[in-house]
Structure 1
Amino acid sequence: MGPIDYLAIEFPGAKLTGEGLAALLDLVDRGIIRVLDLRAAKVDTDGTVTAMEIADFDGDGTLDLAVFQGVQSGLLDDDDLSQSAGLIEPGNGVALILYENTWAGPFVAAMRKAGAEVVSSGRIPANDVIELLEQLESGADA
């Protein structure tokens, strides 16, 4: 099994446009990732958090994420969804995606077979990388 990661994504006005769905499906179809859990919630303007079913989020009559309907490994629970909802502004929605990096599975298996062990792992947030690259590009000190 490859490393497991999650993303919490905020949607202004709790509106999904579907633009990222094609990219997500492509990653799954090519075997780069495997979606283990996909949960969503809306935070009302009064702060009330409401879990949402994977359904017709944008109200156009089409099931937006039908391919992921029922995807639930049990690794994410209601507390995880509530914590993610606490990261967003009232009136917005949040999607929480838990996925396996399947591309890494064969590499990890080969390293373990050779007696190697991962001793550290981490992630640099994309916004931090973008900020640093912009500083470097502008010639400013990082």
Structure 2
Amino acid sequence: MRALIQRVSHASVAVDGRTVGAIDHGLLALIGVQKGDDAACADRLLHKLLHYRMFGDAAGKMNRDLRQVDGGLLLVSQFTLAADTGKGLRPGFSSAAPPDEGRRLFDHLLTQAHRAWPRVASGEFGADMQVALVNDGPVTFLLET
């Protein structure tokens, strides 16, 4: 699994003009599921999302995690993160998990996130979504499991 994570001061996701998920200060995670990923990958990714030290401490160093800053977590499925981009000028998606498998693993990640942290929001798997964010820093990382 891949997650493009961004530290945000605000982020939201809308479907058909209605907001389906929003957070204030916290972490926006765009999630890509690849062939061969399983529940253990999702669990490892969630651990990283909750414990990755990307928030500033009193000295301004990235030493604090999402839990320590009491931040929100916005999960958004994004199959394009599983794209093959090594050759040519058009992405291929042969490494992306099939839609049913991607949905199952994204739903597992979301369920586990709700169990582990009280401030979790999400987009809608497979929907045409509009994501808005204010990247704080900017701070962006690509995590892989």
Query: What's the TM-score once normalised by structure 2's chain length?
Result: 0.23
Structure of larger gyration radius: 1
TM superposition score normalised by structure 1: 0.24
- The structure whose residues are more often helix, as a share, is 1
